[in-house]
A and B are shown apart, each in its own frame.
Chain A
C-alpha cells in the first residue's frame, strides 16, 4: 500500500501531536509573540516565547487553528525550540523544519508545515515590550546567519 510507514502524513506520531499537542496555550511571562495565517487555507498559528537573559528559549507555546499538519508541526516545533539558543533557532532552516516533521509533503502541504516555523522566526524579532526586554538583540553576524526565508506562497 502506498501510504504506509514513515512517509504517511496521518501516522501515529503526527496524530499524537495534533490531538495532544505540546504546550498549546498561553506562555507565562512571554517575551516574544507573533501570529500569522495562511490565507489560502485559513490555517492560523500564534506563538509565544519566553527568551531569557542568555538568549535561550525558556518556554515555547503555541495556539492556532487549522489542518492536522499545521497544528502538529507547531507542537513539534515548540518542543524542539525549548532550550535552544536564539542563535541556533535562527539557523534552524525551513529544510530542518520539514525534516523535523518527518512525513513526505507535497509543496502545497509544505506551507502548512512551515507556517509555525515562519511565525516562530518572526516572533524572535517581535518583543512584547521593547523597553523592558531581557532578550539579546540579534548581532549582525546572527542576523546574517539566519536560515533562508520561507518558500514564496503560491497564488490561488
Chain B
C-alpha cells in the first residue's frame, strides 16, 4: 500500500466530469447530492463507455463466433479482470458478475447455504446489517432449519466484538457482516472478524457494498471467503454487481440459476454445469453494465482509492463538526475516526421525513427512513433517521448548505413551540 502522501484531490475539477451535479432543482437551487450510500452519480467517462459499447462493440458474449461477439466477449472478460485487480483477487474466475450485492448474497445463500446448512447450524450476522444481508439468511433458515444469530451493536453503533466469544461456536458455519454500516458509516474490523470466524471453522462473507467504492479492497489480505458489492454505488451503472468467492468454494458449490451459459452440456436427461465463472452466470449477463463498471474502476484508480478515502474522511470530520453545532441535532454512530463518509442524525421534534422534505426544498438530497436497516433502528430506539452520505465530489460548501437547510427546517417548526409527544405506541 502506498504510504507517500498523494496530492489531495480537487473536488471542483472532478465535479466537472459529472453532468448531473450541475442540475438545479426547485427553480434554481443547485443540487446538493448527499445520497451516495444509496447510489452514486456517474462521470462522463462511464456514460461514454456505455455509449461506446452500444455504438461499437455490442453483441452477446460467449456465444457467437462472429467478430462483434468476440469484441464484446473480450471487453466483458477484460471488465472481469479489472474487477479482479481492483479487489486484489488471485484468479479472474473468482469474480462472478451478478446484478448487485443483493443478488451476490442470495447466490451464496441459495447454493452454498442450501448445500451445507442443517438444523442446529448457525449463521452469525450483526445487528447493523442491511436487509440484503439479513433476509436471504432468514429465508435460508426457513428452508433448512438453521439458526440466525446476531452480533450486538453498542449505543454508538460499533460491533460488540467481545460477544464473539459466546456467539462463535463449533455450530457457527458462516459469519456474514458488513464492512461499513450503510446507516452509521461504522467501519468494522473485517480482518479480525474473518480470522475469528475461521478459527471456529466458519466461513466469512463480507458485504462490501459500502466499502469497495471508498477504500482500497484486498480480498486476499482480508482472507474473506465471499465478498459482495454493487456497481451503482461506485460510479458504475445499476444492474451489475460482483460476488467474489474463493475458487475451491465456488467450484464445490452447485450452480444457482439454470439456463444458457452455465452449462457444459445439456441432454434431454439432464445437464452438466459449466466451469467458473460461467457456472454462476446463467443467461445473458449484464454485459454493458459490466463494461461501465470497468470504466468506473478505471476512473477511481486514476484518482486513487487512498486519496478518495482521506478526502472523504476529512469531509466527514468537517460534517460532524458543523452538524454538532445545530441545536437539537443528535449524530448517530461512532466518532469520525471510526467512520466512512456517512453521517446520520435525528433532529429533536422533527420527523426524519419532514426534515428530508424541507431540506429538499433547498436542493439538498438526503435520505430519510430506516435505510433498509430496520433492526438497527430498533436497536438504536428510533423509528427513522436522516442520512447524508458523501462521495469524493462533495464539498465543504455543500455541507454548509445542508446545515443552513436544516436550520431553516427547524425554523418552520420552532417558531411554534415544541409539540409534546407522549404517545407510547
Among candidates B357, B369, B383, B425, residue contacting A9 with C-beta atoms closer than 8 Å: B357
Is the beta-carbon distance between A66 and B358 smaller than 8 angstroms? no
A2: chain B residues within 8 A (beta carbon): 26-27, 361
In the bound complex, what is the Cα–Cα distance between A39 and B370 (angstroms)?
Answer: 9
A46: chain B residues within 8 A (beta carbon): 423
Interface positions, chain B 333-378, Cβ under 8 Å from A, are: 350-354, 357-358, 361, 368-370, 372, 374, 377
Is the beta-carbon distance between B384 and A1 smaller than 8 angstroms? no
Is the beta-carbon distance between B27 and A41 smaller than 8 angstroms? no
CB nearest neighbor in A for B355: A67
CB nearest neighbor in B for A15: B416
Instruction: Please count how many residues in chain A sit with their CB below 8 Å of the partner chain's CB atoms.
Output: 25
Is the beta-carbon distance between A10 and B358 smaller than 8 angstroms? yes
Is the beta-carbon distance between A65 and B421 smaller than 8 angstroms? yes
Contact digits for A70-96, partner B, Cβ 8 Å, 1 yes 0 no: 000000000000000000000000000
In the bound complex, what is the Cα–Cα distance between A46 and B425 (angstroms)?
Answer: 8
Is the beta-carbon distance between A68 and B354 smaller than 8 angstroms? yes
Interface positions, chain A 1-25, Cβ under 8 Å from B, are: 1-3, 9-10, 15, 18-19
In the bound complex, what is the Cα–Cα distance between A46 and B419 (angstroms)?
Answer: 18
Is the beta-carbon distance between B351 and A67 smaller than 8 angstroms? yes
Among candidates B353, B370, B374, B377, residue contacting A67 with C-beta atoms closer than 8 Å: B353
Known: A9-B357, A42-B383. A15 touches B352 (CB 8 A): no
Is the beta-carbon distance between B423 and A15 smaller than 8 angstroms? no
Is the beta-carbon distance between B412 and A15 smaller than 8 angstroms? yes
B413: chain A residues within 8 A (beta carbon): 15, 19, 68
In the bound complex, what is the Cα–Cα distance between A138 and B221 (angstroms)?
Answer: 68
Instruction: Report if B131 contacts A (CB, 8 A).
Output: yes
A48: chain B residues within 8 A (beta carbon): none
In the bound complex, what is the Cα–Cα distance between A63 and B423 (angstroms)?
Answer: 7
CB nearest neighbor in A for B26: A2
Known: A2-B26, A67-B351. A156 touches B372 (CB 8 A): yes
In the bound complex, what is the Cα–Cα distance between A44 and B425 (angstroms)?
Answer: 7
In the bound complex, what is the Cα–Cα distance between A40 and B367 (angstroms)?
Answer: 13
Is the beta-carbon distance between B357 and A109 smaller than 8 angstroms? yes
A3: chain B residues within 8 A (beta carbon): 26, 361
Known: A64-B423, A109-B357. A42 touches B416 (CB 8 A): no
Among candidates A1, A19, A41, A112, residue contacting B383 with C-beta atoms closer than 8 Å: A41
What distance in Å separates the Cβ of B412 from its nearest Cβ neighbour in chain A? 5
* Best-surrounded residue of A42, A68, A109 (most CB of chain B within 10 A): A42
What distance in Å separates the Cβ of A73 from its nearest Cβ neighbour in chain B? 13
What distance in Å separates the Cβ of A60 from its nearest Cβ neighbour in chain B? 17
What distance in Å separates the Cβ of B288 from its nearest Cβ neighbour in chain A? 26
CB nearest neighbor in B for A105: B357
Chain A to chain B: the 10 pairs with minimum beta-carbon distance, closest first: A42-B383, A67-B351, A67-B353, A65-B423, A2-B26, A68-B354, A19-B419, A2-B27, A63-B423, A67-B354
A interface residues, Cβ below 8 angstroms from B: 1-3, 9-10, 15, 18-19, 39-44, 46, 63-69, 109, 112, 156
Known: A42-B382, A43-B351, A65-B423; 10 extra A-B contacts, CB below 8 A, are: A1-B27, A3-B361, A10-B354, A15-B412, A15-B416, A19-B417, A39-B374, A40-B370, A65-B383, A66-B351
- Sample 28 A-B pairs with CB under 8 A, ordered by A number: A1-B27, A3-B361, A9-B357, A10-B354, A10-B412, A40-B369, A41-B351, A41-B352, A41-B368, A42-B370, A42-B383, A43-B351, A43-B383, A44-B425, A46-B423, A63-B423, A64-B423, A65-B421, A65-B423, A65-B425, A68-B351, A68-B354, A109-B353, A112-B353, A156-B131, A156-B369, A156-B370, A156-B372
B interface residues, Cβ below 8 angstroms from A: 26-27, 131, 350-354, 357-358, 361, 368-370, 372, 374, 377, 382-384, 412-413, 416-417, 419, 421, 423, 425
